[in-house]
Structure 1
């Protein structure tokens, strides 16, 4: 069952009645740090122990899907009024339909009332001239009659005038000026209404609801000892394929004892993010992330350093992946003796063994305290390679699964998956968002086959079994 929505402030927590978040101001999320609402790490640790676990992306739609809204709120929002006023159209566009229509009706009514007051003022400028707005030329124009005339002018209905005027108002130039400006503002307001409702109707963000994600994600061990994080995605409107669909993956976690939440990029191996991580969601696709030493969900990532080994080249804060070095795309290891770089541990080990053999043949001594290749233990290098590649026996795989589950629970890791594409009908870009926490993980196994041949319908050749789309089969289950 999905977690109920909890609205959290530094001093209290309250639960929504319906359990869903539809407004960012009422949602729980990341708060901007400030001196006024600072919490020390000890207090935050105590709070985390008693508060229920929360999702940044809540699954509030059927079929285990999300409404593509992040539960984030901004503290001290009153100070952002000037900033938001610079982008008032998009702020107004984000309001609900009922709120926006109510505001528009109020603005339109106020607009008519203001010009009704102008008509009353214009009629009193020349009291001896009959402008035709009253039955009697000596009668003063009342506000109700002025409101009716203002409404007629705005809507261009033309019910007629109570007086004998021909509606050109030759003797009342003040009235002509007021009518001119009211029609000008009416044209602009109608243009805004057209643009506003077109933008609301034609917006493509709701198109992302048809891009569905698998309920479960799988962490599994490959034959070479590496671990991968996998999830499945599919566009149910497959008859109208999306354009330039690509996927991104992020790991969100909080440091133990700290208030700030980490937001780290997860490199993708399938589809290859070096090629844009492009997918074809009209068919069920599996997205895979290799859990290597650079991965934010690596078992050693909680220590604060992605790479610890002495021979490993420092990432310098860049988002790297070991797949590039394994395929010869770059060098990942440096010999601490001579500085030569190599792509894999095996190449580095061969280099040290060969250089050590040459040094032994040339009788190279320890002159000046310089380190030799002979001083590097090949036995330790081989053991390091085994540990590095996670080439463990099958009996210890379950232990690693337990460690992964503990990592997700301890640091409240939430994997955020983002699919971005272009709708071919409206040519608008949209995003589909889903998240995976510890309760959404399966360990080992594979996704159940869900794409089958279908010859029952003459218009189709294949069918996607959505009941099988969420299933995980094979070895292992949730720990």
Structure 2
């Protein structure tokens, strides 16, 4: 047997309080041809370097800049050897590179000239020197402007603001009273006194196909907050984000086999990211009658239609004995199969078995749920992201998140307090399988 590869997360929790640094472990292989493309966005590439690396590169560039113009000053001084430009003590003396470097450094830093010769620092008889000084000052102004823009962009970047948006350590897969399963996690902005602007959340499922190298990256629709309304949340208070595990969900127990779109009455999603919550609330139809083509939102509506139409067709001679299929011709076994399939989701005796299957699905396909909260920082008006991921080891089954928002009248400036000691806690029947 081949050795079992260790499971590695795409998003590592490398910060305290079970949080991530909002970085994904993705590398680009065979990127030899990407150099020219990246050169078109050199500023952001340079901005992504570490502080030590970027400062080192800037110091090297600044030093090279001074050295280059020092060479220009040496060349300019030799154009008219009989003219005293004041860069040396003696007009007959040749300007050395060390003196040219010092003059170039003085010009760049604009600290004022202390010339060894008798020149008044206007260099009237040395136009070549004036031209070199002009271009050095021009490049110096541009370089200083770049330094200001670079350090402002680096210090004021909003991506570090996402560190204060914390996620719960555990995610909960639980069964609702109507038999449906949901995937839930909790999120909270620690800097709650300055509420974020337009905060919304997205959820993705990353799965590795069995026997294949490719990884699937699928969207998970949200029921709370409703992603049809933008999945907007208010993270200044601890919020629970929920995804309903329906037949369209990437973590549905039958999603790996593809049976969710192969059922006789089920309308094909055509590759769209759908959810059953829309059909349950009458927003669209999920099922089509294979006899008449009438569409219905739920299986219950479809079975009622077939049963009622079959009752009307008992005394109807239309289609009898012909090739046309009637509602009466729909197999009772098919109807029972639909009823049994849906009834299994509403019986509580198999809950533990389903939890075991969810655990097996996450482990077998190495499922990693990627949660992304995106918002605007009100101070700098910049957009940032906070990222967290959940794997099989981060799942709890059943139960609820412990209450962590409590009344607080001890401080006159606050009315409520968030107990961060309870933020990660799961209470109730939840226990990792």
Q: Is TM-score (shorter-chain normalized) higher than 0.5?
A: yes
- Partners of 2:7 and 2:245 lie apart in 1 by 24
In structure 1, the partner of 2:267 is 313
The answer on whether the counterparts of 1:296 and 1:306 sit within 8 Å (CA) in structure 2 is: no
* Structure 1 unmatched runs, 5+: 1-46
Following TM superposition, where does structure 1 have runs of at least 4 consecutive aligned residues deviating by more than 6 angstroms? none
1:248-288 residue CA offsets vs partner (Å, 9 max, x unmatched): 00000011011100000000000000000000000000000
Closer/same/farther in 2, CA of residues 395 and 223 from structure 1, 3 Å limit: same
1:225-260 residue CA offsets vs partner (Å, 9 max, x unmatched): 110000000000000000000000000001101110
- Partners of 1:319 and 1:117 lie apart in 2 by 64
Closer/same/farther in 2, CA of residues 431 and 48 from structure 1, 3 Å limit: farther
How far off its partner does 1:361 sit?
A: 2.3
How far off its partner does 1:382 sit?
A: 4.7
SS in 2 for 1:280: coil
The answer on whether the counterparts of 2:177 and 2:346 sit within 8 Å (CA) in structure 1 is: no
- Partners of 1:389 and 1:135 lie apart in 2 by 101
The answer on whether the counterparts of 1:226 and 1:390 sit within 8 Å (CA) in structure 2 is: no
The answer on whether the counterparts of 2:113 and 2:121 sit within 8 Å (CA) in structure 1 is: no
In structure 2, the partner of 1:453 is 407
SS in 1 for 2:384: strand
Compute the RMSD of aligned alpha carbons. Answer: 1.3
The answer on whether the counterparts of 2:319 and 2:325 sit within 8 Å (CA) in structure 1 is: no
SS in 1 for 2:260: coil
- Greater shift, 76-85 or 303-312, is seen at 303-312
- Partners of 1:108 and 1:141 lie apart in 2 by 22
How far off its partner does 1:346 sit?
A: 1.2
How far off its partner does 1:452 sit?
A: 0.2
The answer on whether the counterparts of 1:244 and 1:421 sit within 8 Å (CA) in structure 2 is: yes
How far off its partner does 1:367 sit?
A: 4.0
Closer/same/farther in 2, CA of residues 279 and 254 from structure 1, 3 Å limit: same
- Greater shift, 357-366 or 119-128, is seen at 357-366
How far off its partner does 1:354 sit?
A: 1.4
- Greater shift, 369-378 or 194-203, is seen at 369-378
1:130-177 residue CA offsets vs partner (Å, 9 max, x unmatched): 000011111110000000000000000014211111111110000000
SS in 1 for 2:211: coil
SS in 2 for 1:95: coil
The answer on whether the counterparts of 2:280 and 2:297 sit within 8 Å (CA) in structure 1 is: yes
1:95-118 residue CA offsets vs partner (Å, 9 max, x unmatched): 000000000000000000000000
- Partners of 1:306 and 1:155 lie apart in 2 by 70
- Partners of 1:383 and 1:433 lie apart in 2 by 41
How far off its partner does 1:368 sit?
A: 3.5
How far off its partner does 1:50 sit?
A: 2.4
How far off its partner does 1:305 sit?
A: 4.7
- Partners of 2:336 and 2:414 lie apart in 1 by 54
* Of 2, 9, 12, the match for 1:58: 12
- Partners of 1:55 and 1:119 lie apart in 2 by 57
- Partners of 2:38 and 2:321 lie apart in 1 by 69
How far off its partner does 1:395 sit?
A: 2.2
The answer on whether the counterparts of 1:224 and 1:389 sit within 8 Å (CA) in structure 2 is: no
- Greater shift, 373-382 or 186-195, is seen at 373-382
The answer on whether the counterparts of 1:217 and 1:440 sit within 8 Å (CA) in structure 2 is: yes
The answer on whether the counterparts of 2:400 and 2:430 sit within 8 Å (CA) in structure 1 is: no
SS in 1 for 2:350: helix
How far off its partner does 1:64 sit?
A: 0.3
How far off its partner does 1:48 sit?
A: 8.0
- Greater shift, 384-393 or 231-240, is seen at 384-393
1:177-220 residue CA offsets vs partner (Å, 9 max, x unmatched): 00000000000000000000000011000000000000000000
How far off its partner does 1:51 sit?
A: 1.7
SS in 2 for 1:185: helix
Closer/same/farther in 2, CA of residues 464 and 242 from structure 1, 3 Å limit: same
Q: How many residues align?
A: 433
How far off its partner does 1:358 sit?
A: 1.5
- Greater shift, 384-393 or 273-282, is seen at 384-393
SS in 2 for 1:312: coil
How far off its partner does 1:475 sit?
A: 1.2
How far off its partner does 1:308 sit?
A: 2.9
SS in 1 for 2:261: coil
1:383-408 residue CA offsets vs partner (Å, 9 max, x unmatched): 41341364343221000000000000
The answer on whether the counterparts of 2:158 and 2:384 sit within 8 Å (CA) in structure 1 is: yes
- Greater shift, 270-279 or 360-369, is seen at 360-369
- Partners of 1:82 and 1:305 lie apart in 2 by 45
* Of 184, 197, 219, the match for 2:151: 197
How far off its partner does 1:470 sit?
A: 0.3
SS in 1 for 2:271: coil
- Partners of 1:378 and 1:191 lie apart in 2 by 79
SS in 2 for 1:50: coil
How far off its partner does 1:309 sit?
A: 1.6
In structure 2, the partner of 1:149 is 103
Highest relative contact order (Cα 8 Å, sep 6+), 1 or 2?
A: 2
* Structure 2 unmatched runs, 5+: none
Counting only pairs closer than 5 Å after superposition, residues 20-31 of structure 1 correspond to structure 2 as none
The answer on whether the counterparts of 1:325 and 1:332 sit within 8 Å (CA) in structure 2 is: yes
Closer/same/farther in 2, CA of residues 400 and 415 from structure 1, 3 Å limit: same
- Partners of 1:455 and 1:379 lie apart in 2 by 63
In structure 2, the partner of 1:26 is none
